Chains A and B, each alone.
Chain A
Amino acid sequence: MDHRPQAWGRPRDDVYGAYDASYLHTNGPKTATQSPIVTGTSVIALKFKDGVVMAADNLASYGSLARFTDVKRLRPFLSTSVVGFGGDVSDMQFLDRHLTELAIDEAYEHDNTSSSSETPATAGQLNAANLHKYLSKLMYRRRNSFDPLWNQILVAGFDSSSTPFLASVDLRGTTFTSPSLASGFGAMLAQPIMRRHAATEEDAAKLTRDEAVAIVRECMKVLFYRDARSLDKYSIAVVTRDGVELSEEEQLEKQSWAFAERIRGYGTQTV
């Protein structure tokens, strides 16, 4: 007789045969994301003199269906950085929860900054450059295990020397930085516009906040005109050394669809 605790209350093997625990095993292959399901489209961001502007619309699409129209795809981190997500929304939610845990871990050690003059950078808190490194290692590890998080992520904030920081990481762990960045359709439609104003770091360092915000808003309008999976409601975040200002209820204004009439295949054609 087996007297060990794990046998208590179980039918006896010698009478009933070994316990069939097969139902506890998941049969079939291990599953991993093979393609994104509910997706967000472009995220765009532009550096300026003393910070970074980032924007993304509030739409989550299910294929060609505009499924959720109030989805917030820009997430502030520790009120020093902003993370913008394109791609799969459920993976974004997973990452968002993960970042929440990370922020709480930070609070254990650092949130108790006693003097109000101390900035997060000097208090040794995770800055945007650290966060981007962390996320890129996470994304690369997941691609190595063939279980990618199907996102392209932009991280905006400041680096350890307190200069504006903007970088990207995608589902394969590829990372890069640039004065302006755009994911998805934004890479084709918004990036040329932003590069016209800020081709180099030096150009970007001359832009004022208002100029940068205006350029990004203009880009969001172009994206709405041309990207079929986009929305005229969007979020815009401005990261400066003072913190993060995030507005999630922006509406595209002064739309003019007059140009569409001249383009064959764009809307109703009369000829």
Chain B
Amino acid sequence: MKIETKFNQLKKEGRKAFIAYFPFGFPKISYSNDIFLALQDAGVDIIELGFPFSDPLADGPIIQKASVTALEQNISINSFFANIRKIKKEIKIPVVVMSYYNPIFKYKVGSFFQRLRENEIRGTILVDLPFEESGNYINAAEKSGIDPIFFITPVTAAKRMKKIAKGAKGFIYYISTTGITGPRSLQHKDIASHIKRIKEISNTPVCVGFGIHNNQQVKKISSISDGVIVGSEIVKFISQNYKKKNFLKRLKNHVRKLRS
């Protein structure tokens, strides 16, 4: 399913998107597809599948630690795609890949988008590839019909925001506060006023990520945006529960509670 289709569907249903992030290969490669399907079952609207990087400089301790664990298994872009291909027929929601630029640069941007297309992955988010460095990347994305998703932050200047919003596809990833990923309290008023400004110049859905870690925040932020992205909270839950009995059931329940 395309990201745009998903948002149209949500609009019709009068719902907001609940987007879940988890890194591939954590705690082990063999868990990733099960986690994916459990999240889908729990009603997640879009999955942001992380491809871990050795130096995640925008991530907090929870995702840093998970990345280290995943990388101990010597994962590659090829093993990433080979794995997701196994459940291709079962995937009913849009998938976007989130990573840092170097693994993709090393793999070659063109080949990467070809693989995304073959595997029906709908979007990409690269944390350290800002707008002005992404000429080739945007071209390759366009050619393969994949949405390159960009960030806007509380400190993005108005002129820059316009440029980013103008080229935005899929959704705009609004970063709730300055800082790295991980749980924290949020200033809803500030977020609301920023989103209002983005909405004035763009029709692309705006989803909010960074810091969102409980049901109350999900509700509040959803009410002022088109959706929320929850990452660290899910990764933390996985790391604390994957050894327990009925792990997948627990995960589903946890996510259902988060998005209820």
A and B: bona fide binding partners: no
